[in-house]
Amino acid sequence: MSKYICSICGYIHDEATGVLWDDLGADWVCPLCKADKSAFQNQEAKAKIAPVTETLELDDDLRELSVLEMSILCSNLAKGCEKQYQGEEAELFTKLATYFKAAAPAVEGDTKDLTALVEEDLTQHMVLANQIATTHGDRGAQRALVWGEKVTMILQSLLKRYAQEGDAMLAHTNVYVCTICGFIYIGDTPPELCPVCKVPSWKFERVEGGQTHG
């Protein structure tokens, strides 16, 4: 009998309970975080995975951020200031985020484009960021990257489901986002604890029509 662990929230499916992994349907999802089966790893196989030794190099020429990226950056900085009770700074960053968002052109593309960007984040950018944080012994950055990787993995899982189910996936249900780590949850009510950062459900906001509601 094997155990399979969710790489996002840590939930363990133990075949000893009577249900074999292969007997779970293709549409089965994690009971805690709703990740699909691809997010699970055999616990024995996971223990045998060798550490990454390849070193990625950062380009010397750093490109200028787009206005939409600036909006996202300022929005994240605003939330960071809020958590440190710096209200004035949070308000200023929020104004900047709103300004850049209004100036951003409409985003074109589909879920395939977004899926490709998510794959690139997981296989390249986060690997590089982890290497840099480890080299400099930045434990705060390493912790943030752990959260970021898990949140990106659930986004990848949701995109795969959406590619298969389409709009039916979002019919008659709600979408929630954790205001602390960005974890996305689809269900009638948010989980009691965020599967990634473990904050209580009142830290989740409901997303509706592109807007969040507390």
Structure confidence by residue, pLDDT tens digits, 180-201: 889 999 999 999 999 999 999 9
Burial of 173 (0-12, 13-18, 19+ CB in 10 A): exposed
pLDDT score recorded for residue 43: 84
Please check the confidence at residue 59 and state whether its pLDDT lies above 70: no
Among 89, 66, 85, residue whose Cα is nearest residue 77:
89
Of the given ranges (32-41, 49-58, 99-108, 111-120), which has the lowest mean pLDDT? 49-58
User: How are strands ordered across the β-sheet holding 40-42?
Assistant: 12-14, 3-6, 40-42
Q: Quick one: DSSP state of residue 30?
A: -
Q: Quick one: DSSP state of residue 21?
A: G
pLDDT score recorded for residue 71: 92
Confirm if 115 and 155 have CB atoms less than 8 A apart.
Answer: no
H/E segment holding residue 12: strand 12-14
What residues does 4 pair with on adjacent strands? 13, 42
> Measured between alpha carbons, how far is 211 from 176 in angstroms, rounded to an integer?
11
pLDDT score recorded for residue 58: 58
Of the given ranges (87-91, 101-105, 107-111, 195-199), which has the lowest mean pLDDT? 107-111
Confirm if 183 and 33 have CB atoms less than 8 A apart.
Answer: yes
> Measured between alpha carbons, how far is 199 from 152 in angstroms, rounded to an integer?
18
> Measured between alpha carbons, how far is 126 from 36 in angstroms, rounded to an integer?
21
> Measured between alpha carbons, how far is 133 from 62 in angstroms, rounded to an integer?
18
pLDDT band at 14 (very low <50, low <70, confident <90, very high): very high
Structure-token pair, residue 127: 């690997």
Percentage of residues in the chain having pLDDT higher than 90 = 52
Q: What is the mean pLDDT of residues 82-104?
A: 92
Please check the confidence at residue 48 and state whether its pLDDT lies above 70: no
pLDDT score recorded for residue 214: 56
**pTM across the whole model:** 0.75
